[in-house]
Structure 1
Amino acid sequence: MGNVFKITELRYIPRWLVFFIDISIISFSLLISNLILKNLNTEINFIEYHNEKTVAVLAVNILFMVLFKTYAGIIRHSTFFDFFRIVWSSGSTLVVLLGFNFLAESVWGKSVYVNPVLFFFFFISTFLMFFFRMATKQLFKMLMDPKDSSSKIRIAVVGVDEESVSLANAIIHNRRHPYQLTGFLSTRLDSKKARLLGHTIYNKREFIKANNLSNQIDAVLIKENMPKQEMEEWTNLTLNKGLKILKAPVINKMNEGGIIGGIRPLQIEDLLNRKPIKIENGEVKKRHFSKSVLVTGGAGSIGSEIVRQVVQFNPSIIVVVDQAESPLYELELELLERFPEQKFEFVLADISNIYRLEKLFEDYQFSTVYHAAAYKHVPLIEKNPHEAIFVNIGGTKNLALLSKKYNVNRFVMVSTDKAVNPTNVMGASKRAAELFVQSLQNSSDNTTKFITTRFGNVLGSNGSVIPHFKKQIEKGGPVTITHPEIIRYFMTIPEACELVLQAGTMGQGGEIYVFDMGTPVKILDLAKRMIKLSGYTPDVDVKIDFIGLRPGEKLYEELLTDNSTTIPTHHEKIMISRDPVMEFEEIEILCNQIMRAAIKKDRLQVVKILKTIVPEFISNNSEFEVLDKTPEHEVYQ
């Protein structure tokens, strides 16, 4: 039975067979046309040459079939383009035979063919050839679908424009994928009784009022390039109806099969994403082309994306430094495969080891340093404050001093909004690092431009809230939130890295660049939306628990200090924060003091000195709140 022919295994009908069937169709059409004429009792000229006349008609038609390649299209994917090729072929045959009749009348005084026969032949043959293609297409649809349609996801496509129709056609033609087209959704009110590709068009009003849509539709498909406001609106409507929402890729980026494979559930990142900053590629490329670039924390979320963006500008070498062995190795494999022409150096090192770093500065003479290495998890750092001192302050100090010593053109530090009016050790350590970097700008013999970028939470970064919520939802809950009123700013990883690159281009030294991050997001609303996007009902299918603020955590983050002033730049989304600064001599003494305390693992002393460096640092929900109750911070030499 394994050798038995199966039509489901037939990808397409061979062209020679299509050609043979078309010849059979035109022969049959000519026979029918002659029978019609015979019943009309019309006088036929040159009846003794009937066979020759028949062969001539067929020969002319076959010639044009070959010229217009009517047999070349894949039958099960026939479109009106194939119909037009048939029309051109049959129409050209008609014109040639009518022209031959005209010549015959001029020479012999009578036509060879009866004109009505030619017209009958044209219409009948055209109709039958196209009908054959449509019937075969439908047969393939019925026989080549390996899945029971009841097991498929019934999809309604948003929109009735050309791109939406193309998406619908891709779903129809790719029967092996788990989707079934059931209709279209539109904001237009004039499409109530219209049908598209044989399916119903529901307008938005009908969609809102309908109570039994789940009996007809399982999911709504939106397009990747849909405006954010429209996407948000359809998402809310769809989730309120208890339906799934899927997202299709931009149709001009891939072929039909790839489009279907690219359909995926809508992610919360899609709704939080905003229009990214437009980079001045000319300036950015000028800063990196044929230059040596160092990226610290290069295996992390931000650092690795900086590397991926910098490589587009053809630097002479990118040195990637990180102390996380496995992520660094995985990044090495990825980058060497994606960018085989680019020269990389992957270095396993701790930035708190200045001797290890100095060898890199000696060997590579960096033009630009992107400093993204840092400890960032607030609760862990609150328990281990000395580690933040070693890496966030000491590591930054090492890199900044080496950049000055080796005349690096630009040093760009990645900071955080938690450095503003910090309530935890992590944020305060980053603010201290900012102060040290800024202080070097006007220090003696400095030629390096020291620049800081400051932004909020990054979507999808390692350890961030969204991947954490996803894991909790996959396990069935509960989703844990520290406080019902907690809010955060969010941005995408590409946005964050574009800001870093642009700041490195714009900065003249000493600036802290902040980003217009839009409206902050309530974490409770974020969790509820993620649960709904996963197909569940909050507090019914997946419970939400409030666990209380963690040590050092606050309800909202800020991008500017109380004493800062904001200066606009030529980018409407990028501003300069003029924060209070410290002299290099002063901050250097304090950094040396805090490093000594960190080496002794004296946790209280570490935080005391940190509060001296960052006076606005007021601990929240932390054991270090006791230090804020004393009138003055004691600083031990």
Structure 2
Amino acid sequence: MLNRINIVPRWIIFCLDLTVSLFSLAFAYFVRFNFNISFIDLNELQRNLIIFTIINCAVFGAVRTYAGIIRYTSAQDSFRILFSIVISNSIFFVWNIFQVTQDKPLIIGNSILVINGLCCFLLLITYRVLVKYCFLYIKNLRLDRKAVVIYGAGETGIAVKRTLDHDRKLNMQVVAFLDDNERMRGKAIDSIKIYLPSELKKLAADGKITDVLLAADISLERKNAFVDLCLENDIKVLTLPPAVTWLNGYINTRQIHNINIEELLERKPIEISNELISGQLKGKRVLVTGAAGSIGSEIVRQVCKFDPQLVILSDQSESPLHALQLELDDKNVDTTCHAFIGDVRDKHRMELLFETFKPHYVYHAAAYKHVPMMEHHPSEAIRTNVMGTKILANLSVKYGVEKFVMVSTDKAVNPTNVMGASKRLAEIYVQSLYNSFKQKNVIYSNGLSHLNKEGANKKTKFITTRFGNVLGSNGSVIPRFKEQIERGGPITVTHPDITRYFMTIPEACRLVLEAGSMGEGGEIFIFDMGKSVKIIDLAKKMIRLSGLIPDEDIKIEYSGLRPGEKLYEELLNDKENTLPTHHEKIMVAKTREYNFETISNQIEELITLGSQSQDWQVVAKMKEIVPEFKSNNSIYEDLDEEIKEIQMK
């Protein structure tokens, strides 16, 4: 039945409006003459009804009073109806003025016009409101409706409430509002009472409330505390997208979704020095390696905001790189972006890149980063993470790059796996290369003998940025947990005590740009990662946010630490300390210096072993160069025992 009413033709609404307006005029005559029909000039009434019909046909057609869907009647529809009534009655009023100037009798009494206007408006609005509430009543008859509480009694909350009222597919009924404003407590909106958030537990006592929809902008701390309160009472938490993403300024119920764990792990927006970054990048050529990856692609998006001359998107992965190029084209990015297919391990291909584009800035995000995978393929980790970095660093010096910003990881600190150790080796190489510039009479060898004096004198500034896990990145634990929950479980956690630091991708990339702009060369910048998160708590919260119960609906299993994995990540080496910068979220690690000639020779030997796929010899050499590299839960722990025995002898 409801579907049939939904498709009522507009001409029926038009006829209803016309009938109501004619009834209103007749009723105005009766009111004017105290319902005494003998005082009414029936010929005049008949004539005016015909005239009023013609006028209203034209006015209603022009203003389109019939166009709105009645059960969605809003204030906008009321204004449209009021406007049409004023126009139609004004025509009579103007006609009366003309009659007076011609010493002729009035077409219709002005008192009748006033009564007609009021009655017509009231009747047209009333029948619409009655239809609207009839629909709501029929909808509310359903017994299986979800009882929803809206957090936020502002304009957004009201808009959400009215949207839910008219969307039968969601099958939700708003039973209460929550708002932090104590002055609103006890008041009502559309007959729905407003409570304080602290009263949610009392509201949920009967177990009828199923969902809470967040429609207010609250702090992250407040949001986390409130979500925890909801989960304790088995209430699902829904949220809305930002208002800028609403379709045509209206909430689309399909955009309402369960709150994501990422929204609860986010932190206060990080303010960066846009002027400083823009001053350095504007009009420059910027190379981003690993541009198709999660970090590299976000660096590209943010770099494009600072009006560079050209951004070179370098990656060996064809499809994701093409997708990024299409995304930038769709967003009508003003900056010229050039996709360049190339492997950082291919020296000749990278030489062509630098020779062709001569970049001023390099953001090096290309790397192998999956810990278990690299534990099984140490030679490949060396070839990409170490040799690839060395090739790019050497070419940066040769072609006079102003700044080389390397994206590193917290796993490079006291590494327990091949991936972390390979990134630490890359850090050591670029640091020692920069430090060699400060030495007098430097002899460039081991791949740097080709550097000309002019290129070397430009002293490319090498800067390293180090941070932990990023939310939503390729290989992140959160997407994996989501997939496992969607499959019905179980969720696999490696260890009950394992913790990790988390940062959003945009946040991490903003800090990379900020650190790169403030760096003077040779620094390792570390980022304030906030508090470490216990992965088991993260898993349980994700299950509850999905409306399920941990260990009942979704089982949690412990799979054991993966090869090379450690329980706690660190951001600083034991022999390092930090110094503050002008940005509270960025610190500088004071690191020990390495002799460039020694490191360069050792790394060259390591690369040779990697090229021959001699994995055990590769890992042994890595431990020689990075003594703090102690394998954990790995087959290479035997090497640590051998080294320990040799040292004891």
What interval of TM-score do these two structures reach, taking the shorter chain for normalisation? 0.7 to 0.9
- Larger mean CA deviation between 231-240 and 33-42 belongs to 33-42
What is the one-letter code of the residue matched to 1:346?
A
CA contact (8 A) 1:182 1:200 kept: no
What is the one-letter code of the residue matched to 2:226?
W
Residue-by-residue CA offset, 1:92-137 (whole Å, 9 max, x unaligned): 88899899999999999x9997787555434422211111222344
CA-CA distance at 1:389 after TM superposition = 1.5
Counterpart for residue 292 of structure 1: 285
Q: Secondary structure at the match of 1:461?
A: coil
Give the whole-Å Cα distance in 1 for the aligned partners of 2:489 and 2:361: 45
* Residues 324 and 253 of structure 1, relative CA distance in 2, 3 Å threshold: closer
* Residues 250 and 181 of structure 1, relative CA distance in 2, 3 Å threshold: farther
Give the whole-Å Cα distance in 1 for the aligned partners of 2:407 and 2:515: 10
Residue-by-residue CA offset, 1:440-495 (whole Å, 9 max, x unaligned): 22334252111111100011111111112122222222222222121111001111
- Indicate yes or no: 2:175 matched with 1:183: yes
CA contact (8 A) 1:352 1:390 kept: yes
CA-CA distance at 1:53 after TM superposition = 6.9
Counterpart pick for 2:22 among 17, 22, 27:
27
Counterpart for residue 394 of structure 1: 387
Counterpart for residue 221 of structure 1: 213
Counterpart for residue 425 of structure 1: 418
CA-CA distance at 1:342 after TM superposition = 5.4
Give the whole-Å Cα distance in 2 for the aligned partners of 1:148 and 1:85: 32
What is the one-letter code of the residue matched to 1:570?
H
Q: Secondary structure at the match of 2:148?
A: strand
CA contact (8 A) 1:13 1:74 kept: no
Give the whole-Å Cα distance in 1 for the aligned partners of 2:331 and 2:63: 43
CA-CA distance at 1:434 after TM superposition = 0.7
What is the one-letter code of the residue matched to 2:464?
T
Q: Secondary structure at the match of 1:218?
A: strand
Counterpart pick for 1:377 among 370, 387, 393:
370
Give the whole-Å Cα distance in 2 for the aligned partners of 1:544 and 1:263: 28
Counterpart pick for 1:235 among 206, 227, 241:
227
Counterpart for residue 589 of structure 1: 601
Counterpart for residue 476 of structure 2: 464
Residue-by-residue CA offset, 1:562-601 (whole Å, 9 max, x unaligned): 3323222222212222211212212112212222333344
What is the one-letter code of the residue matched to 2:121?
T
- Indicate yes or no: 2:363 matched with 1:351: no
CA-CA distance at 1:192 after TM superposition = 6.4
Runs (5+) with no aligned partner, structure 2: 438-455
- Indicate yes or no: 2:504 matched with 1:504: no
Counterpart for residue 160 of structure 1: 153
CA contact (8 A) 2:151 2:216 kept: no
- Larger mean CA deviation between 99-108 and 67-76 belongs to 99-108
Q: Within 5 A, what are the aligned runs for 1:434-513?
A: 434-444=427-437, 445-447=456-458, 448-513=460-525
What is the one-letter code of the residue matched to 2:373?
L
CA-CA distance at 1:302 after TM superposition = 0.8
Give the whole-Å Cα distance in 2 for the aligned partners of 1:159 and 1:397: 54
Counterpart pick for 2:190 among 183, 193, 197:
197
User: When the two structures are superposed, what TM-score results if normalisation uses the length of structure 2?
Assistant: 0.84
- Indicate yes or no: 2:131 matched with 1:133: no
CA contact (8 A) 1:160 1:184 kept: no
Give the whole-Å Cα distance in 2 for the aligned partners of 1:615 and 1:22: 87
- Indicate yes or no: 2:588 matched with 1:576: yes
Q: Secondary structure at the match of 1:182?
A: strand
CA-CA distance at 1:91 after TM superposition = 6.7
CA-CA distance at 1:246 after TM superposition = 1.6
Counterpart for residue 270 of structure 1: 263
How many pairs were matched up?
A: 626
Give the whole-Å Cα distance in 2 for the aligned partners of 1:328 and 1:252: 28
CA contact (8 A) 1:317 1:343 kept: yes
Give the whole-Å Cα distance in 1 for the aligned partners of 2:142 and 2:353: 61
Counterpart for residue 238 of structure 2: 246
Q: Secondary structure at the match of 1:559?
A: coil
Give the whole-Å Cα distance in 2 for the aligned partners of 1:303 and 1:600: 30
Runs (5+) with no aligned partner, structure 1: none
TM-align CA RMSD: 3.9
Q: Within 5 A, what are the aligned runs for 1:103-118?
A: none
- Larger mean CA deviation between 84-93 and 505-514 belongs to 84-93
* Residues 70 and 599 of structure 1, relative CA distance in 2, 3 Å threshold: closer
CA contact (8 A) 2:304 2:333 kept: no
CA contact (8 A) 1:568 1:576 kept: yes
Q: Within 5 A, what are the aligned runs for 1:18-167?
A: 18=13, 20-39=15-34, 73-87=68-82, 120-138=115-133, 154-167=147-160
CA-CA distance at 1:371 after TM superposition = 0.8
Give the whole-Å Cα distance in 1 for the aligned partners of 2:435 and 2:470: 32
- Indicate yes or no: 2:354 matched with 1:365: no
CA-CA distance at 1:287 after TM superposition = 3.6
Counterpart for residue 622 of structure 1: 634
Residue-by-residue CA offset, 1:294-338 (whole Å, 9 max, x unaligned): 222222211122222223344444333333344344444544544
What is the one-letter code of the residue matched to 2:72?
H
CA-CA distance at 1:416 after TM superposition = 0.4
CA contact (8 A) 1:248 1:259 kept: no
Counterpart for residue 448 of structure 2: none
Q: Secondary structure at the match of 2:366?
A: coil
CA contact (8 A) 2:30 2:37 kept: no
CA-CA distance at 1:290 after TM superposition = 4.1
Give the whole-Å Cα distance in 2 for the aligned partners of 1:148 and 1:422: 63
Give the whole-Å Cα distance in 1 for the aligned partners of 2:330 and 2:197: 47
% identical aligned pairs = 42
CA-CA distance at 1:221 after TM superposition = 1.4
